[in-house]
Amino acid sequence: MKILLIRHGDPNYELDTLTQKGWQEAEKLAERLAKLNISAYYVSPMGRAQDTVSVTLKKVGKSAQTYAWMREFSVSIKDMTTGSPCLVWELKPKDWTIVSEFYDKDKWYDVPVMRENGVKERWEEVCNGLDSLLEQHGYVRENNFYRAMKPQEETIALFCHYGVSCAMIAHLLGMSPMLLWNHFSMEPTAVTTIVSQESQDGVTTFHVHGYGDISHLRER
């Protein structure tokens, strides 16, 4: 199967919608996605994601299912130097990079600064939500891999946000999301393509075939 993780268009965060530029980006994105055979659309409940997907849905005549767990990973923590509120991807490199646990997929959320305000619980919500969605499409998680109960050739599209997309990718690849949050960027309407690879016994791993692609914005 193929999973398309799509960030919303240029946002107006104050109103949780799109700017004029964002609506234009959503139109170009829709032109791109309309050429693909996408079988199912899923979307965050947040306005900027809903607005972005609405353009594509109107163009292809389909609907999307909204999942609360796909909302942005906007858990507030404290800056490790100043104690000021910040997001999990806003920690200073000089602080987080010297903590070895941040590089461990099973320990990053147990670092003291991450124990506040439900970071682990939010992480588990995203992981469980994604696993439940994939199970609907025939892929069941077993430890650190998936088993294809009903291998699919379909493509599904998830319209959401930067932070939660990084979390999903980290879960699929078995790595700490800190590496993605701090080393990978994702521009508005960027498309990340993840493809399953199944062995004969059904054991499945996921491979990133393209990250943060915005080629549709450069097309005339």
- Are the C-beta atoms of residues 60 and 33 closer than 8 Å to each other? yes
- The backbone torsions φ and ψ at residue 149, rounded to the nearest 5 degrees and listed phi first, read -75, -35
Please give the domain boundaries of the chain with CATH numbers for all domains.
2-74+134-218 (3.40.50.1240)
- 85: tokens are 């509120």
Alpha helices in the chain, H assignment, sequence order: 20-33, 47-60, 93-96, 119-136, 162-173, 177-183, 215-218
Return the pLDDT at 20.
Answer: 98
Rounded distance, CA 10 to CA 161, Å? 11
pLDDT tens-digit map of 72-123: 999 999 999 999 999 999 999 999 999 999 999 999 999 999 998 899 999 9
Return the pLDDT at 220.
Answer: 62
* Alpha carbon 125 to its chain's center: 13
- Are the C-beta atoms of residues 137 and 210 closer than 8 Å to each other? no
- Are the C-beta atoms of residues 180 and 169 closer than 8 Å to each other? yes
* Alpha carbon 215 to its chain's center: 19
Low-confidence ranges of the chain (pLDDT < 50): none
Note the pTM of the prediction, 2 decimals: 0.95
Return the pLDDT at 159.
Answer: 98
